[in-house]
Amino acid sequence: MGLLDNVKKMVKKEATENPQQTSDDQKQVQAIHVTNGIDPKVIDAMNERMTKIENDLGKLSGEMEGQKKTLNDIKNELEGIKENVKMVVSLYELVSRDFNPFMDKTPEEIRGITDTLAEQVNNVKQLVEAAIKDLRELYGVPDIDQFIQMEEKK
């Protein structure tokens, strides 16, 4: 039922209320309605158009509800992904904290670690040099380093 059906019914009602009116009276009623812009054909066309618009609006409303549900589902999935990424990053930081010198280490701690490692490397170097010197003395191989040092002094 369209919006302008009531107007159409009023026109028909006026025409049928006074069946004893002469044809001149009926022509006057029709002329009044036409001059006022109320033509039954226009009313029918407008009613059809309004019905179509109402149907289209109902369809659009249903589609909007479906789109809202889809967007909510996507939002929930994104929240889950966000939480998973946070957990993975937290796990990565926990595991790499002991191996990464740039995470949660102050410069003093890094300097202490570096000094300790440098001292251990020097100790190993001295041990290797001493072992090589001992092997040369055991097997009678001349010490090339001594010859180089002597030549450099000259």
60-78 pLDDT tens trace: 999 999 999 999 999 999 9
Return the ∠ at Cα 14 (arms to 12 and 19), rounded to 5°: 95
Cα dist. 139→21, 133, 142, 147, 150 in Å?
Answer: 147, 10, 9, 18, 22
What's the pLDDT score for residue 35? 46
What's the pLDDT score for residue 36? 60
Sorted by sequence, the CB contacts under 8 Å of residue 109 that are 6+ apart come out as: none
In the chain the first and final C-alpha atoms are separated, in Å, by 120
**Residue 52 is encoded by which pair of tokens?**
């179509």
What's the pLDDT score for residue 82? 92
Low-confidence ranges of the chain (pLDDT < 50): 21, 35
What's the pLDDT score for residue 53? 94
**Can you list the alpha helix ranges (DSSP code H) found in 4-39?**
5-17, 23-35
What's the pLDDT score for residue 115? 83
